[in-house]
Amino acid sequence: MMTIGKYSLNEYRRLIEWFHGSPSPGMLVGGIMVDAAIKRLNTTRLYDAICETSSCLPDAIQLLTPCTIGNGWLHMADLGRFALALYEKDSGRGIRVFLDPEKTEEWPEVNIWHLKLRPKKEQSLEKLTDQILKAGIKLLGFQNVEVLPAFLARRAKGEIAVCPACGEAYPKNHGPVCRGCAHASPYVQKKIDMRSRKITGHRISRSEKTSLMNENQG
Amino acid sequence: MMTIGKYSLNEYRRLIEWFHGSPSPGMLVGGIMVDAAIKRLNTTRLYDAICETSSCLPDAIQLLTPCTIGNGWLHMADLGRFALALYEKDSGRGIRVFLDPEKTEEWPEVNIWHLKLRPKKEQSLEKLTDQILKAGIKLLGFQNVEVLPAFLARRAKGEIAVCPACGEAYPKNHGPVCRGCAHASPYVQKKIDMRSRKITGHRISRSEKTSLMNENQG
């Protein structure tokens, strides 16, 4: 019986549905890739993961390995390649697995999906799934890799400060104010939001408040 | 009985252990934050998430909402603040929840953890857990937010090309070669790896191969 990581194929499919939300071909081939990477890494040491795409594959890694975004063991490298690497935390040595166009070429439905040769609507999920399961690791390329030392360095948060602008905690080494207040806020700047005590992430000081009230009255 | 998302506290704790790997306080308070955000957003529409820290919180979001890294509904904004936003995909309107230092101040163990006033080893996980559960949403601040239109735009991958350097598929709009070959590889450049047909992610051309062989012989 086919297994993917510690799971049967059906168990893995249920995990995909629960976590990822849809029965995506990327999650299926991704599961096969992660499973193959674990087997080839074949280590008893702790390992981290690098994911080279943000499509599907990170979820396969998170479901099948101890590495997640939130525990810091999964590192995203947005290179746009459908590939991952698992590597030992201490040595940086590991295995990279990628979807190989020279190999997917022999599986027409996989090739069409992988190189996006036809719009998604015109692809058959059923045929694609069949070919992925039939081909399995025949779709994959493997490389031994060594992760750059700069990438291995543990990024400690260091001391925590309270941002004088928004009043929230942030890593002091980010600068005199937090990044959200400095430049990188993903939110529309609002003039004033009476339901909160903040303007645009800036805590309203008593004097600001008074001047705002005066403006509104004026 | 306390619930976190669709789960009882104990069920959520088991999920944390399985997915995140350790009973972290960040996952516990993170769960309370996500639960509160879902309730306040209170929408029947599809929503996305922004997470402002890479510590723990992304995993709480992934376990309790439909948003994950791999399905593209969870967006990371590395601002170093322990905060998240859930917002409607179409309107960009949503709710931001943050851990508020003015409020954590009243809960000594939470405050020590949040502002890192004592090394982790000298903190009591048991007391901290008790205070988090007792305080619950009293630790949190809420803001209505509107996500910037640029952030809402769906990033389509567009056409796929095969990289002339490494031979792998990548989004054509990244440039003439893939990002891994252009500049952003996280791996140590190897002279030659005989187990694969690649040098440093560069497919070995016939002429390169000949010259390498000659070098080795010389």
| A214–chain B nearest CA distance, Å | 24
* pLDDT score for B103: 97
Whether A82 contacts A139, CB under 8 Å: no
Q: A73 and A179: one domain?
A: no
Q: B148 and B96: one domain?
A: yes
* pLDDT score for B26: 97
- The answer to whether B98 contacts chain A (CB < 8 Å) is yes
Q: B27 and B115: one domain?
A: yes
* Residue carrying structure tokens 């998170």: A62
Last residue of a domain, one of A105, A120, A152: A152
Check A59 against B69: CB less than 8 A apart: yes
Q: Count of residues for chain A?
A: 218
Higher pLDDT, A77 or A210: A77
Average pLDDT, chain A: 87
For helices A9-19 and A25-41, the axis angle rounded to 10 degrees is 120
Q: B211 and B128: one domain?
A: no
How many C-beta atoms surround the C-beta of residue A211 within 10 A? 11
Q: B106 and B168: one domain?
A: no
Last residue of a domain, one of A152, A185, A202: A152
Measured between CA atoms, the residue of chain B closest to residue A202 is B143
> Domain range holding A105?
3-152
Q: Number of A:B CB contacts under 8 A?
A: 217
> Residue A215 in 3-state DSSP?
helix
Q: For residue B68, what is the domain's CATH number?
A: 3.30.1330.130
Q: B91 and B31: one domain?
A: yes
* pLDDT score for A190: 61
* pLDDT score for B190: 61
Check B187 against A96: CB less than 8 A apart: yes
10-residue averages of pLDDT along chain B (218 residues): 94 97 96 98 95 97 98 94 96 96 96 93 93 98 93 80 96 94 84 44 40 37
* pLDDT score for A92: 94
Q: Give yes or no for residue A154 having a pLDDT over 90.
A: no
- The answer to whether B68 contacts chain A (CB < 8 Å) is yes
Q: A116 and A194: one domain?
A: no
Ranking A71-85, A89-103, A183-197 by mean pLDDT, the lowest is A183-197
Q: A190 and A129: one domain?
A: no
Q: B88 and B142: one domain?
A: yes
- The answer to whether A77 contacts chain B (CB < 8 Å) is yes
Check B146 against A187: CB less than 8 A apart: yes
The phi, psi pair for B172, rounded to 5°, reads -55, -35
- The answer to whether B85 contacts chain A (CB < 8 Å) is yes
Measured between CA atoms, the residue of chain B closest to residue A74 is B54
Last residue of a domain, one of B152, B174, B201: B152
Total of domains in chain A: 2
Ranking A86-95, A128-137, B10-19, B175-184 by mean pLDDT, the lowest is B175-184
Q: A138 and A209: one domain?
A: no
Residues 6+ apart with CB under 8 A from B211: none
- The answer to whether B69 contacts chain A (CB < 8 Å) is yes
| ipTM for this prediction | 0.86
Q: B40 and B147: one domain?
A: yes
Contacts of residue A20 in chain B, CB cutoff 8 Å? 68, 70-71
Check B56 against A69: CB less than 8 A apart: no
Contacts of residue A26 in chain B, CB cutoff 8 Å? 70
Q: A141 and A205: one domain?
A: no
What are the helix and strand counts (H, E) for chain B? 9, 11
- The answer to whether A79 contacts chain B (CB < 8 Å) is yes
